[in-house]
Every structure is written in C-alpha cells, then in structure tokens.
Structure 1
Amino acid sequence: MTVLLHIDASARKERSISRALGETFKHQWLSSKPADKFIYRDIGSTPPDFISESWIAAVFTPEGKRTDEQNLLLALSDVLIEELTEADVIAISTPMYNYGMPASLKAWIDQVVRVNKTFTFDLNRGDFPLEPTLSGKSLVLLTSCGEFGFGENGTREDMNHLGPHIQTVSKYLGVDEVYEISVEYQEFGDNRHKRSIESAYESIPGMIKSIATNT
C-alpha cells in the first residue's frame, strides 16, 4: 500500500486551477490504486501557524525539558511531520503568487522542516552540516501561474521562485524524485492558456504510471 499526502495551497476555493489539477491527480491515482491510503491537508483554507520566537525556542529545547506550553506550540508541527513521514508520495497543488509560493505553503514547510525531526545538524560534517532524516519519497508539484515562460530556458525562468524553491527544500521532505505539471497563461485567457490546461491534464496519467512504477 502506498500513502499519498495531498497538500492544497490555493487561497481560492472556487475556480482554482491548481486545486482542480490536484483533485484530478488524486482521483486518477486512487482510481488506479484504490487500496492506497490518502491524507489531505487544505492549507489554503486553513493555513498552519507561522513559526515564532517561542516556537523556535521550543524546537531547540530537549523533549524531556519542554514545558506544556512548548509542547502545545509544537503540537501541529508534530502532526504535520507524522503525515509527511508516513507518505510515500507528496502531491502539492499550488498557484504562483508574486513569483513565489503562497504564505500558507511556506508556513507548512517551516513547520515540517525541523531540526532533529526531518533533518539533523552536525558541524562535524564541515560546511554542509544539515542531513535529511527521511528519504525515498516522490513529490508531485502541480502549479498554475498567470504569466508564462517559467520553465527551463523560458523567458521568465529567472523569475520562477516557486518550483525551484520547493525543489531545493524537497530533500528535507525526504524526496528523491520530483515531477511537475504546470498551467500557464491564466491571466491571458487565450488559446495558449487552453492548450496549457489540456496539456497538463493529458500529462497526469503518464506521470501516475511513472511514479507507481518507481514507488
């Protein structure tokens, strides 16, 4: 049995392209693998708390010495990390906001990328002291954006701070393989946008087959 964790990050509940992509991916995955377990987090509607000075202090306090208040501060982080740890496949459906990720998605990442939980820190490793503790997961990134040309060699490649950022931190989510489907031209609403949507949906079955083969 494979465990699929789906993170929805769009602030929109209606007419969200990334949400629709995520829903289609989930439906097709579970249709082909109905015995798999599905975990869902709608962080676009219910964003995780931002980390704070008190949260950071709690993280760096040894577990046996934390106060009840500190344990409460870390309770959501613990749950989110449990979901992440259990997952074999992580699907993140998210729009691009201002050339980067929504604040809710950054908040989720900050809650789960946590020292002594999803990575260790050891200065004996020299200039690269961080080491992930999780591995073997696949990440499916389903994105939408208003403009276009954010992919490799695209006209706006250097303005893309969504996919590259997520790929950079993905190793601390335990990710070994990253797959991405993007819809562009949303603000133009022309035939290019229509073709981009069609291409995205046509790519989902092949992606699922590829991931299932490697999982």
Structure 2
Amino acid sequence: MATILHIDSSARPGRSDTAAHGSHSRRLTARFVARWQQHRPDDTIIYRDVGAHPPKPVTGDWIHAAFTKPETRENWMHDVLRESDILIDELLQADIIVAGVPMYNFGMPAQMKAWIENIVRVGRTFGFDRGRDGVPYWPMVTGDKTAIVLSSRGDYGYNPGERVAHLNHVEGGVFTPLEYIGITNHHSTAIEYDEFGDDRMQHSIATAEAKVDRLVQSLLPRFAA
C-alpha cells in the first residue's frame, strides 16, 4: 500500500478543466491522483486544501513552543503546535507528496508557504545541536519519499535555461526546505501562457498533462507487489 499526500494551494476553487476560471494546478494534481487510482485504487489519499483552508502562520509563540523541549512544554504550547503536528503527521505518512503550487508574483502562494513553515520544525523534521561536530542541523524525515510540484504560470519561459528562469522561485522555494528535512526525490511540471489564453496555452496544458501521466507510470513500479 502507498500513501499520497495531495495538496492544493491555489486560491481558485475550481479546476480549469471543469470551470471557466478554474485552477490549472488543481487540474494537474487531480489528474495525477486520478491516474494513480486507476492503477492502485486501494492506496490511501490524504487531501489537504491549503488554498481554501490556509494553515496558521508561524508566530512568536509558535517559535517559543517549537524550541521548547517537549517534556517541558506548557499546555498552551501544545495547543499552538497542534496544527503543525497534524500537518507533519500527514507528511510523514506519505510516500508521495503531490502539490499544486501556482506561481504568484514569482513565488509560491502564501498559503503554501504557511504549510512549509509548519512542517519544517526542529525536533520533528530536522534536528539541531550546537555541540554537534560539523553542521549543527540534520534531516529527520526518513524513507524514500517523492515530492512533486505541479504549477501554473501566467507568462512563459520559467523553466531552467529559459528567458526568465531566474525569476522563478516556486519549485526551488518548495524543494529546498523539503530537501533540508530529508525529502530529496522531486519532480515538477507546469502549465504556462495562462495570461495569453491562446493555442500556446492549450499546447502547454497538453504537454503538462502528458508529463503527469508519464510521471505516474514511472513511479508505479516502486510500489508493485
């Protein structure tokens, strides 16, 4: 059995294949999950819509609680960290994290950043020890997990080596903290030309959907009985 953590972070509530102004990233994540379930209908899907229900942002109280040893935390500290604990538990259960992360002003939506801030946590997903030889930080998330970012962009040319790749802070913004906590396998694709809405956008949609389908096929053998 495999577990997929399906995350959507778009502020748009619908999908572009079912609603006139729907989300392209939601379209791609739904396609990934649907294709996966065609082959493995009994696998567990955990769904988290941070676009509609954003996690609470990190506060001073959150930081205080997180850096307090669990055995000495006061009740209010456990309350402050409860949502973070739930999000981390979901992440730790997952074999595959497939996240719809549209580009907003060259980076990820604030809702997705709030999710990342809640799951990158000392003592749970990374360790810290000032007295440790070498680097005082180490990843604590184990297992062969794979992270997938399915994005959308109004403009075009944001892929590595293209004209405005240096302005793209979406995939790196997600994958860097995930690598930091121990999730180093990652894949991505994106729909572009949304602001143009012409044949180039339709071609981009078809290309991204085909890549999603190939990605599912490439990952399935890992979970074969």
Distance change in 2, residues 1:89/1:16 (3 Å):
same
Please list the CA deviations of residues 48-100 of structure 1 after superposition, one character each: whole Å capped at 9, or x if unmatched.
00000011000111112111111100000001110000100000111100000
CA positional deviation for 1:173: 4.8
CA positional deviation for 1:176: 2.7
Q: Is the 8 A contact 1:138 1:211 kept in 2?
A: no
Match runs of 1:1-215 below 5 Å: 1-14=1-14, 15-123=22-130, 124-126=132-134, 128-135=135-142, 136-215=144-223
Kindly provide the amino acid, as one letter, of the partner of residue 52 in structure 2: S
Q: Any gaps of 5 or more consecutive residues in structure 2?
A: 15-21
Distance change in 2, residues 1:122/1:65 (3 Å):
closer
Q: Secondary structure at the match of 1:74?
A: helix
- d(CA) in 1 for partners of 2:133 and 2:219? 33
Q: Secondary structure at the match of 1:182?
A: strand
TM-score, normalized by length of structure 2?
0.92
Q: Any gaps of 5 or more consecutive residues in structure 1?
A: none
CA positional deviation for 1:35: 1.6
Q: Is the 8 A contact 1:133 1:172 kept in 2?
A: no
- d(CA) in 1 for partners of 2:3 and 2:163? 37
Kindly provide the amino acid, as one letter, of the partner of residue 145 in structure 1: R
After superposing on structure 2, the runs of 4+ consecutive aligned residues of structure 1 that deviate more than 3 Å are none
- d(CA) in 2 for partners of 1:143 and 1:201? 11
The 10-residue stretch of structure 1 (173-182 or 99-108) with the greater mean CA deviation from structure 2 = 173-182
- d(CA) in 2 for partners of 1:21 and 1:88? 19
- d(CA) in 1 for partners of 2:174 and 2:74? 33
Q: Is the 8 A contact 1:119 1:133 kept in 2?
A: yes
